[in-house]
Amino acid sequence: MGKISIKRILITVGIIVIILFMIGITYIHFNYEKTDNEKIVDLNQYIDIKYNETSNVTIVNATKDYIVNKSFSIKNTYNKTLYYSIVLSNVTNNFDKNSLVFSLISDDGAYIEKSYIINDNYILASLIKIEPSNTHEYKFNLKVTTSDTNNKTFSSNIKVNVLSLDSLYDFNSLYAYVIGNNPKLYKNELNIEDGVYYTNNSINGNTVYFYRGTNELNNNLVLGNYCYKIIRTTEDLGVRIIYNGKFNNGICDGENNTLDLTTFNNNSNYNAYVGYIYGSANSSNYESEHENVNPSNIMKKVNEFYQNNLVKYSSYIANSIYCSNRKTDSFVLNSVKYDILGYKNYNTGYNSMYRLLNNEVSYNCENNNDRLNNERITYPIGLLSADEAFYAGLNRESENTLNYLNSSLSYWTITPAYYNGINAYNFIIEDGKISESEVNKEHAIRPVITLKNSVKVKSGNGNYDNPYILE
């Protein structure tokens, strides 16, 4: 009995030792994971920020055209890629709206111009990618654009926030494939070499990655029975794609990559008809002319495509913004002066034409009224914008028939160009360039949708012969 008891005691002790050992290993494992997670969450410690003077930006007793200049650098001291945002924090501001305009310029990071300070914690730039040991140099200036400066003050601090990698996107997602499978990420928007580029000229200054170049790009994707070309990422981390033909027997029919011919609007004799959705034609003011009430002819056609082919994939599709950009701008084109009224049959220039004429394109959509999502346009589907086409490598000056957005048929964009006192003109893509057409003419349709960043890739590498297939 004594021997048996001793044996039992030894077995029991052995079991206890093994249990304690396993508990110890488990503790060490989870304690290690916790420590590692804490490092990931507290990423700000790995960013070294240097200001030329201080982070404070102050304007007191200023005159019109007064400018505050600041410069600073941001270095990644971590051994992994980081993302960060730049904000103006602790804002005190009693200037009127649109009275302060800023620019933020960097060769390696964000590039933003002509944006207005709105409120506290204003985002100057966001989702900016910085590789290990890299440094981004910034120049920031804030300019007073009004003469009404009596008793007006502005004060703020430039602050940098580092973002957790896990909070940005799933590394198995299509979004990750877009920027991860493309080692060449260019900053210069005017470079025409095939590749993925990026800019912060966007809504809220968020980083947008976009494809620029020829049909050799690996931006091909299949959803259901149709093929698409990836255009860009969106400010909300979605992936924007454009219709590129039917998918039959494992092959994309890229030769027939447009849908039916249609007018943009059946009427063309007032400013209202530049709108993808529009207000009351021949109104007495801009707001009524461009109110979001009446669906355009092409919007109805695009919605029909969604109803017939995409409803069953609605869980894949993001409620993203499609910018109709009816902001007005004055310019001279072909000796004709265009002004900013934007209603009745007054000669009116629209902002995207001004941008194209001056090579100042942007993904930003300054008029909130022009930010069309499915609360305003019924379904989360739209059309390519002229600015997106320019970023992709097209322009108004010369043909580029090798560009991935070229098609055998001319097709509509969502973007107004001008109203010349007789007809409303919108942009089309034709013969490898950005052109204009009266809105009551017929051109083809290439619908655009935005996929959620949670959408995952099942197979493929994005090449034309091996497109991304989604899970």
**Is residue 17 in some structural domain?**
no
**Is residue 302 in some structural domain?**
yes
Count of domains observed in the chain: 2
Closest CA to 413 of 398, 404, 433, 393: 433
Residues in contact with 467: Cβ distance below 8 Å, sequence separation at least 6, in sequence order: 220, 221, 222, 227, 252, 460
Q: Which of 128, 144, 167 is the last residue of a domain?
A: 167
* Residue 50 or residue 123, greater confidence: 50
Torsion of CA 433, 439, 440, 446, to 10 degrees: 60
**Number of other residues whose CB lies within 10 A of the CB of residue 192:** 12
The pLDDT assigned to 93 comes to 86
Instruction: State mean pLDDT over 231-235.
Output: 93
pTM, to two decimals? 0.75
CATH number at residue 128: 2.60.40
The pLDDT assigned to 57 comes to 92
The pLDDT assigned to 20 comes to 36
- Residues 193 and 146 occupy one common structural domain: no
At residue 392, φ and ψ (nearest 5 deg) are -75, -15
* Residue 166 or residue 334, greater confidence: 334
* Residue 193 or residue 438, greater confidence: 438
Closest CA to 467 of 169, 174, 172, 238: 174
**Is residue 233 in some structural domain?**
yes
**Is residue 389 in some structural domain?**
yes
- Residues 162 and 238 occupy one common structural domain: no
Biggest CA pair distance of the chain: 114
Q: How far apart are CA 8 and CA 13, in angstroms?
A: 8
- Residue 32 in this model has a pLDDT that exceeds 50: no
- Residues 202 and 120 occupy one common structural domain: no
Would you place residue 135 in the very low, low, confident or very high pLDDT band (cuts 50, 70, 90)? very high
- Residues 160 and 273 occupy one common structural domain: no
**Is residue 140 in some structural domain?**
yes
The pLDDT assigned to 37 comes to 36
The pLDDT assigned to 10 comes to 47
Q: Which of 147, 167, 187 is the last residue of a domain?
A: 167
Instruction: State mean pLDDT over 148-166.
Output: 83
Would you place residue 86 in the very low, low, confident or very high pLDDT band (cuts 50, 70, 90)? confident
Q: Which of 111, 143, 167 is the last residue of a domain?
A: 167
- Residues 52 and 127 occupy one common structural domain: yes
The pLDDT assigned to 33 comes to 28
Q: How far apart are CA 291 and CA 297, in angstroms?
A: 16
The pLDDT assigned to 17 comes to 39
- Residues 81 and 186 occupy one common structural domain: no
Tell me how many degrees the CA angle 119-125-131 measures, rounded to the nearest 5. Answer: 150
**Is residue 6 in some structural domain?**
no
Give the least confident one: 16-25, 47-56, 245-254, 302-311.
16-25
Task: Report in angstroms the alpha-carbon separations of 244 from 212, 251, 464.
Answer: 16, 12, 11
Would you place residue 297 in the very low, low, confident or very high pLDDT band (cuts 50, 70, 90)? very high
- Residue 26 in this model has a pLDDT that exceeds 50: no
- Residues 139 and 198 occupy one common structural domain: no
* Residue 129 or residue 64, greater confidence: 64
- Residues 237-264 have pLDDT tens digits of 899 999 999 998 888 877 789 999 999 9
Mean of the per-residue pLDDT values of the chain: 85
Q: What is the 3-state secondary structure (H, E, C) of the chain?
A: CHHHHHHHHHHHHHHHHHHHHHHHHHHHHHHHHHHHHHHHHCHHHHEEEEECCCCEEEEECCCCCCEEEEEEEEEECCCCCEEEEEEEEEEEECCCCCCEEEEEECCCCCEEEEEECCCCCEEEEEEEEECCCCEEEEEEEEEECCCCCCCCEEEEEEEEEEECHHHCCCCCEHHHHHHHCCCCEECCCCCCCCEEEEECCCHHHECEEEEECECCCCCEEEECCEEEEEEEECCCCCEEEEEEEEEECCEECCCCCCCCCEECCCCCCCHHHHCCEECCCCCCCHHHHCCCCEECHHHHHHHHHHHHHCHHHHHHECCCCEECCCCECCEEECCEEEECCCCCCCCEEEHHHHHHHCCCCCCCCCCHHHEECHHHHCCCCEECCHHHHHHHCCCCCCCCCCECCCCCCCEEEEEEEEECCCCEEEEEEECCEEEEEECCCEEECCEEEEECCCCEEEECCCECCECEEEC
The pLDDT assigned to 282 comes to 97
Instruction: State mean pLDDT over 54-59.
Output: 92
Provide the residue range defining the domain that includes 447.
172-471
The pLDDT assigned to 369 comes to 95
The pLDDT assigned to 27 comes to 29
- Residues 103 and 178 occupy one common structural domain: no
Would you place residue 15 in the very low, low, confident or very high pLDDT band (cuts 50, 70, 90)? very low
- Residue 38 in this model has a pLDDT that exceeds 80: no
**Is residue 25 in some structural domain?**
no
**CB distance 336 to 420 below 8 Å:** yes
348-349 β-sheet, strand order: 348-349, 411-419, 424-430, 433-438
Give the least confident one: 57-66, 160-169, 298-307, 391-400.
160-169
The pLDDT assigned to 18 comes to 37
The pLDDT assigned to 171 comes to 65
* Highest mean pLDDT: which range of 21-25, 39-43, 106-110, 443-447: 443-447
**Is residue 21 in some structural domain?**
no
- Residue 178 in this model has a pLDDT that exceeds 90: no
* Residue 204 or residue 210, greater confidence: 210
Give the least confident one: 189-198, 234-243, 266-275, 361-370.
189-198
The pLDDT assigned to 123 comes to 74
Instruction: State mean pLDDT over 323-351.
Output: 96
The pLDDT assigned to 8 comes to 55
Structure tokens, 22:
């396993």
- Residues 343-355 have pLDDT tens digits of 999 999 999 999 9
- Residues 225 and 316 occupy one common structural domain: yes
- Residues 160 and 176 occupy one common structural domain: no
* Highest mean pLDDT: which range of 139-148, 253-262, 273-282: 273-282
Give the least confident one: 121-135, 146-160, 286-300, 324-338.
121-135
The pLDDT assigned to 111 comes to 59
The pLDDT assigned to 36 comes to 38
- Residues 432 and 344 occupy one common structural domain: yes
The pLDDT assigned to 130 comes to 85
- Residues 376 and 331 occupy one common structural domain: yes
